[in-house]
Structure 1
Amino acid sequence: MYAVAWFGVLGPLEVTAAGRPVPVLGRSQRELLGALLLRANALVQVDFLVEDLWPDQPPPTARRQIQNTVGRLRRTLTGGGVPSETLETRPGGYLLRASRDELDLLSFHWHVEEGRRLAGAGRGAEAAARLRAGLALWRGTPLADLDGHFAVARARRLQEDRLAVLEECLALDLRLGRHHEVVGELAALVEEHPLREQPRALLMTALHRTGRTAEALEEYRRARTAFVAELGLEPGPELRELERSILTGTLDPPPEPSEPPAAAPPARRRPRQLPPDIADFTGRQELIGWLEELLADAGDSTAVVVAAIAGPAGVGKTALAVHVAHRLSGTFRDGQLYVDLGGGQARPAEPAEVLARFLRALGAHGSQIPKTLEERTEEYRSAVAGRRMLVVLDNAVDEAQVRPLVPGAPGCSVLVTSRSHLAGLPGARLVELSVLDSAQAVELLARIVSGDRVTPEPEAARELARLCGHLPLALRIAGARLVTRPDWPLSELAGRLTDERRRLDELAYSDLEVRAGLSVSLGRLSARARRLFGLLGHLYAPEFAAWVCAALLDTTAAGAAALIDELTDAQLLQPSGTGRGRYRLHDLVRLFARETGADDPGPALARAMGGWLALAGRAHIAVSGGDYATLHGGAPRWTSGLPDLPDDPLAWYDSERLNLIMAVDQAAAAGLDELCWDLVSSTYTLFLTRGHNDDWEETLKAALACTRRAGNARGTATMLMGLGLLGAYRHDYAEAAVVLEESVRTFRQIGEQQGLVYALGVAAHVDGMIGRYDEAVAFHEEALEAHRASGDLGAEVLLLRSLGQLLVEIGRLERARPHLERALVAGRGGDRRVHAEVLYWLGQLHLGAGEVDQAESDFKEMLAIAEDLADPREEAEARYGLGLVRLHTGALGAASGLFRQAMELNRPLGEPLTDGRIRTALALVHHRRREFRQAIGYLTEAIRIFDAIDTPLWQARSYRALGDVHAARGDRPAADAARARARDLFTRVGSPEATEV
């Protein structure tokens, strides 16, 4: 666990972690860190850094030097205890994250803004104290020890800011009657800045109010002399008017001296997020008592208390949970957190999003909220540790959704509701909530309608409760209808409910009321706004950008904007709250909108999905550097009203990920097979880059089913190839081989040459990974010939890299060399991620050939690319490769450190092959240190991993290493057994390493 870091720029550059200094050595690292800190929380383009560090004539290698410096700086910071996510590599530049609790400059700005807010609210004493707190952060000239162009210019501006704030603070002190206290400080400020009028005016005022009027007038004469001598100007009108007021005795009298109240310690946030309690809650008394006793015992428990209420929809789970939580509000003095997890919706809440909301409710600011689910879980559990809090998790989907939201320390209790039995939730006490009994159902009806109407009709009341199934939701709807029809006897509604064909319509009162209210709003819309509203009801996307509305109507962005405003004003369309220019329909409004769309929405929806297809294709090209190894369909793309893709295509993808999945689902449901499979084909790079393999699989299978139904052979073969590629990434080679066989066969049957060679390339890679090396080499060479003939350079580079990898893996280094060298030259300027992979396998080739210096250069260049792309997968491989170089040269400490860094980078990615290789390498380190127990532990786990993903070559290498360890510790039988297993596996895959065992 990293300690909290602190950065100081309001003086010489300073970095500490856990209270200990973190030395940042070397001019380049310090200049770079200073430039990033002065632009904290903003993306700093590499070009700006080049201009900053070399303002006159940057060297040709400037960008590379900055990449290298960033790498060294990151190692310096993390080595000193600064969290690794503090410094991020983004496309085109770098971003240093810091909160106001971590950077003195941000803290200074916050104190100033808060002070000005307090001053505007008439709280002068508090405002002055806040400004003083900000000024106290200054330790001298900002970044006084740096001479970078940007640092020097920014330091001057910051000094001006500090002077302005100091003058503001001193003026506040005078208004508070503190003229005696500030005279000396003002005199020193005037001495330091004799040509600034504001300090001089404040000093004259303070001197006059302390009875030193003659000195005040003397200050004016000194100011005039200095201004005329230095500037050739008279003092300004404010200073002249002040002198006149002092001379005539008309200066406002001083206020009564005041002292600021003692600052109260900041209060901890105590969230109170519960929905309102239900006044007519009925029944469940025994269960309420049991839940109260269970949850209230959290203070005496050694673990977090968890209670889970299960039951069908409408049974009253939420009502019960909220009622109990309100009754316990006094017990849980530090607050109650509440969230609807959306278990009954198509897209339930993500735990990471819920944790961000909880952290904000507990006082965290946006920059303090970590990015990953694991880190947010840790931060959340730290935030609630030691508190008495109740967490209500309503409408949960399953245990996986709930687990990250459970606090880690005793003192808190959790109350969960779900339609599922959460039996897999550790330590949870489960209760099944059923419908009310007859008496309780009648009692609830009486509370809603009134006992005066229910008591005279006991039989009708019981019959009505029975027809409602004793379900609380249905009883509430029935009761609401009776309340609005006081002339109806209960038997009237009971008679209406007797007809089973109409019963649900009769119990839809709440929906009917909503429909009636919405109809009024709809009637006030223009015809085009009504059409847009009806089309939006058919859209699967839960929220959408404004361009979607333009696509639905095939109009311009300006034309759609007016209609969006019309719908928003009518409260039929809501801003989503997730970003500017994004909107959503409430669920009930969406149902109503769908009813209003009388005409065929198909063409309009196809345009919207064509817009997502166009944007996804642009993002794919921006991320990949080109449209490499990708097949497309013939569906039209809608582009006439599309906005430009943002500078960060992955940020766009993050905001649109769910919509892209929904667009695939909707295209499949509508039978738009060409659009459906092309959309998947255009998004796989985005899914892959972010590691969203489950989303990729979902869209592939939806599109595959759609193309099969439509008889679309080309689309079917492409989606099968995608499933094969996904299987390869997941190391599920057996399944990948099956779908790739069908893909290759289908491409051959329809004469699709480009698709065939793509599929052959993937199949070749899979064959290589499962040990069918001769078949893999043959597939590669066939595919390469076809690619060269087609002129698809991007796909050729991929195949050259894959064939080179395969040949390096089986020890045929000289045969691999021309392929990898050709890929290196041909791939420059293309997909940088593929280029990094080429460098990795060249590094492995050079290392295997004893060319250690060249191998180190390859891995370092790969690392620079990986850091620049912020790609943890490639960075893990690069650090693993550098670790092998260090292991080769005998630098065991450095090798171990690099392997462990690679393992940490790979941990959240869950790449088993990488994990197994790193463990095998760490075992070699321990073997050389004669730490045999640790070496055997790592190798045993590596063998288990390689066996699970069926990679015989790496199984063999791990067994060979295990045999060497056993031999070194003197266990000859174990060594012989491990080596025999290694020899068999090497022989099975045809590796020359069999002769080395």
Structure 2
Amino acid sequence: MSEFGSRLRELRRAAGLTMEQLAEASGVSARAISDMERGHSRTPQARTLAALAAGLGLGPGQLGDLEDAVRQQRVQAVGRPQLCEPPRAVKDFVGRAGELDRMRRHALAGFGPAPVAVVHGQAGLGKTALAVRLADQLRDHYPGGRFYLDLRGTDPEPMAAGDALVRLLRALEVNARTIGETDDERSSQLRAVLRDRRCLLVLDNAGSEAQVRPLLPSEGASLAVVTSRRVLGGLEGVARIALAPLGPDESAALLRAIAAQAADPRAAAGVEAVARLCGHLPLALRIAGTRLATRPAWTVDHLVARLADADRRLATLSTGDLGVATAFALSHAQLSHPARELFRRLAHVPGVDFAPTLAAVLTGAHPDDAADGLDELVDLGLLQQSGPDRYRFHDLIRLFAGERLRIEEPAGTRAATAKRMADWLLETAVVAGRWFEPGYGCLPAGYAGLVPLATADEADAWLQAERNNWLGALRSASRGGQYQLVVDVAEAMHWYSDKYVRAEYWYDVYARSRAAAARLPDRRQEVTHINYFSWAATQCARRPDEGARIAMDAHRVAVDLGDVKEQAWALRYAGDAWRQAGDPSAALDSYRRGAELSDLAGDHDGYVLLRSGIAQALTELGRHADALTECRATLREAEDRPMAPRPALAALVNVHLTMAAARCGLGDWAEALRVAERALPAAVEYGYAGYLAETHLTIGRARLALGAPEAARSSVHLARDLLEDLPHGRLKTLAGEVMQALP
């Protein structure tokens, strides 16, 4: 028993109090009081000592005696080595408020087995700093002491569980002669000590469940905080705290806390750029801030310029014995050989995320084996799971993977792997896109690809999920001179692109296919893709003047070739551009000329779509009765002419929306409502959000005019939600006006 413990017991007994009564009077737990009296805990903090004195009703003299006992005990402890002392807490710690709060609540819940928290995540996220911060915040709740042990889980030879047990038992002042000889005996001893004392263990850098499991308390009020790059999914009954990178505001706050240059308000934009280039990773931010702070002549913009060089970024994020790449390398060294190959080859992926099938293509492995490899990377924090069967790199880990790829594979192997991946992506994109092409509309016979594309919905889902990857592959094929492949992909996307008509990436797709087609001998391909590029300039890039010029270029080339069908399509795209530019008269003339040529060429799809364009132009000119006549004629033509399903559906939606708009213009609201409601199923089937928005908006306008404001409100809200991510300024303005008119 210590001098302090003996004196505390004398004072409690003199006051006629049991431990439980003193606990109630002071607010200090009975277990903590027991630990202090028996000398099983370290000297109390000033706040705890004051609470005990108040509970005992001590006068100044008695309190002074107790304080002297505390000081004497501290002096006696100075000469003894303190094992497993926690490291110094970080003074400029920022963020993690939610994680800290969750761990505090878990630690102090006060029921069930002894609490254990596992903090896991990739290298550099600040797992150790978070655990030490928590230990510092909870020091008064654990009078039995706070103990820290680095388990060296990322070393080639992690600390053995038996060695860890001996260290902890010695730190807990268990007599060395009584420490058990086997790991099971030592583990049992540790659990017994922790059951009787309120201690906090920080078990840092755990390598496996087997290593850490014998070190955990089983019962009592002690807390164990385990940090690991692995999830340690085999540990039962623990609270798992998955760390993510800091938020932008937290990243900026950390940089400002470290470097004076970052605290200058005028450097805010540069600080934001540094945080982004560091991937909001605490280790990278700390290194970047330290480099700035130790170089007073540097500005934040100077640091941004250094970090902006992707090839040198990891080298820049290194100072002293700290380095981002060094931290990643510790995890990389633990990978199996197949997982190392997979890790470096994933640097070829052009998009931000990917599915296991792409991993299989890169390595030539079976998809199940590739999925196992991805799980290994996730488990070591070298990859993040971004959704069901979707994975992504942290930006800095992607750079590290690229470094490993350049170091570990010759240039020829890298080039062959990259081409195999790009070809697979583009060939799959062609198969998926052709589901929406009038000449295809199904899966090719004998298809045995790695991804399921048995329906149009599956094809659409794959094209959207892998969009950044097949787009990246298309750009690579364009640079590499695979001109016919570029044209084939763009052609397969022609009708599919209508489903996402306002997506700006189509401008890039058709700019590349136009340029590629110009390098091929078939000039008919060239004029077709000039037309597609006109559509993309008008509808996707929202540059109708450019779209009209490109369309008339296509018209001139089509005239030179004698290609009547493409002349008609060029006039269609020119009409669309002029109508978007606010010149429906020029559009009307272009549509009419195009319709004549389509009819002459026997292009039924183009003819009916041009007739629907004529009706739209008439409506915009205020000639609503003429527009209705044209719409009815167009519907008859659509019934009489053999059309491909998707062009027919597009014409059906356009004609009904135009009829509804014309009825609105004539003030025939009941008929406008009927036509718009009839258009709704076709708009849903077509899948373009702009058509759906216009349909719901027309329904809402008609309902409001017919005296049903609540029903109108629901429809207009739907329209506004659909328009939120679309650039339809006219429809957005109209929706706002209708909302204001609602009671």
What's the TM-score, normalizing by structure 2?
Answer: 0.49
Pick 1 or 2: higher relative contact order, CA cutoff 8 A, min separation 6. Answer: 2
Q: TM-score, normalised by structure 1?
A: 0.38
